[in-house]
C-alpha cells in the first residue's frame, strides 16, 4: 500500500530540473525528501567497446533501465530502503557500488523521459514540466558536459545535433501535455517553486506527516 509521495520533474537536458528538485529539498528538509535522478538508471554499457559507448543514443527511452527504476520507486513509496545505482558518465558504465536511499516521505524524481513512461506517470502525485528555451538548455549542457563529464566542445555539439535535439522533439517535449504544473524559466522561477512546495506540504498534511 502506498504511503509516501512521488513528485516527477521532467524537461529538456539543461532545463533546470535539478535546481527545481534541490529547491524543493531545501524547502522541505533533507529528512523528508530524497532526490533521485533518472540518469542514474542508464543501462550499463560495459559490455561494448568504449568507442561505441560514446556514440550511443542516451536520449532514447531504450537507454534507461526503467524496469529497475519502477521497482525501486515502488519500494520507496511503501517505506522500504533501496540500493540506488551510481552511474559513471565518463565511462558510460554503472559502478559496482551503490548508495543506500530511504525511507523518505517525499521522493523527487527528475529526468528527461520520466513523463514518457505511463507506469511512472501513474505513480506520481504531482507531475512537473520545466519549460526552458532550447538555446539556454544547450548552453547549460555544453558547459556542464565540458566541466563535469570530460567532454570537448565538438563532441557535445555533435551529440546534441544527432541525438539530443531530435529525441527532445520526439519524446521529451510532447510529454509537456501530461504535466500538472509547468514551470517556465527553470529553477529561477521562485514563485512557481514556492507554490509547488506549498502543494507538497498540503499533501504531507493530508497523509498526517
37 neighbors 209 (Cβ within 8 angstroms)? no
Per-position pLDDT tens, the chain of length 209: 668 999 999 999 999 999 999 999 988 877 889 999 999 999 999 888 888 887 889 999 999 999 999 999 999 999 999 999 999 988 889 999 999 998 899 999 999 999 999 999 999 999 999 999 999 999 998 998 888 877 889 988 998 999 999 999 999 999 999 999 999 977 788 899 999 999 998 888 887 65
Q: Is the pTM of this model over 0.85?
A: yes
Count of helix runs (H) and strand runs (E) in the chain? 8, 7
Where helices occur in 102-208 by DSSP H, the ranges are: 118-123, 134-149, 153-159, 165-167, 190-206
Q: Tell me the chain's radius of gyration from C-alpha atoms.
A: 17
Question: What homologous superfamily is domain 5-200 in, according to CATH?
Answer: P-loop containing nucleotide triphosphate hydrolases (3.40.50.300)
Q: Establish whether the linkage from the previous residue to 103 is cis, with ω within 30° of 0.
A: yes
| Residue pointed to by grid coordinates 514563485 | 191
Give the length of the chain: 209
In this structure, the strands spanning 93-101 and 82-88 are: antiparallel
42 neighbors 65 (Cβ within 8 angstroms)? yes
- DSSP 8-state secondary structure symbol assigned to residue 172: I
Amino acid at each position: 500500500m502506498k504511503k509516501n509521495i512521488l513528485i516527477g520533474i521532467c524537461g529538456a537536458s539543461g532545463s533546470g530540473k535539478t535546481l527545481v528538485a534541490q529547491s524543493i529539498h531545501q524547502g522541505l528538509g533533507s529528512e523528508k525528501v530524497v532526490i533521485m535522478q533518472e540518469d542514474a538508471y542508464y543501462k550499463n554499457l560495459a559490455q561494448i567497446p568504449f568507442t561505441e559507448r560514446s556514440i550511443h543514443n542516451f536520449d532514447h527511452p531504450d537507454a534507461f533501465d526503467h524496469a529497475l527504476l519502477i521497482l525501486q520507486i515502488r519500494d520507496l513509496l511503501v517505506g522500504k530502503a533501496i540500493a540506488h545505482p551510481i552511474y559513471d558518465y565518463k565511462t558510460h558504465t554503472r559502478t559496482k557500488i551503490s548508495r543506500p536511499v530511504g525511507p523518505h516521505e517525499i521522493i523527487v524524481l527528475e529526468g528527461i523521459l520520466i513523463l514518457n513512461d505511463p507506469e511512472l506517470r501513474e505513480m506520481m502525485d504531482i507531475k512537473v514540466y520545466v519549460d526552458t528555451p532550447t538555446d539556454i538548455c544547450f548552453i547549460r549542457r555544453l558547459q556542464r558536459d565540458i566541466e563535469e563529464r570530460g567532454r570537448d566542445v565538438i563532441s557535445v555539439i555533435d551529440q546534441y545535433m544527432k541525438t539530443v535535439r531530435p529525441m527532445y522533439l520526439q519524446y521529451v517535449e510532447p510529454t509537456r501535455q501530461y504535466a500538472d504544473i509547468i514551470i517556465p524559466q527553470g529553477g529561477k522561477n521562485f514563485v512557481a517553486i514556492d507554490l509547488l512546495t506549498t502543494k507538497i506540504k498540503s499533501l504531507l498534511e493530508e497523509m498526517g506527516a
